[in-house]
Amino acid sequence: MDLTVLMAILSSSVLAAVLTSLVTVYLNSRNFRNDYFKEVIARRLQTYESIEYIVTRLKISVVDDDGQPYRWVFSNKDSFAIFLSDFSALVANNHWMSDVIYERFHQLNLILYVYRFDGGDEGCKKFGKEKYLEITQVLKDIEKSLTIDFAELHKVKKFLREKARKQQGFSLPDAEGNAMPTKIDSSGHVKKPMGKKPVRDQPGTN
Residue 116 confidence (pLDDT) = 80
Give exposure, 50-87, as e/b (b: 16+ Cβ within 10 Å). Answer: bbeebbebbeeeeeeeeeeebbbbbbebebbeebbeeb
Residue 199 confidence (pLDDT) = 44
Domain boundaries, the chain: 44-190
Residue 196 confidence (pLDDT) = 44
Residue 177 confidence (pLDDT) = 45
Report the C-alpha gap between 84 and 73 in whole angstroms. 9
Residue 153 confidence (pLDDT) = 87
* DSSP 8-state code for residue 73: G
Report the C-alpha gap between 3 and 9 in whole angstroms. 10
Q: Name the pTM for this structure.
A: 0.66
| Residue pLDDT tens, the chain, 206 long | 554 544 454 456 655 665 566 666 655 566 767 888 888 899 999 999 999 999 999 999 999 999 999 999 999 999 999 999 999 889 887 889 999 999 999 999 999 888 887 778 999 999 999 999 999 999 999 999 999 999 998 888 888 888 887 655 444 444 444 444 444 444 444 444 444 444 444 445 44
Q: Which residues contact 60 (CB under 8 A, 6 or more apart)?
A: 71, 72, 73
Report the C-alpha gap between 166 and 183 in whole angstroms. 16
Q: Which residues contact 47 (CB under 8 A, 6 or more apart)?
A: 90, 93, 96, 97
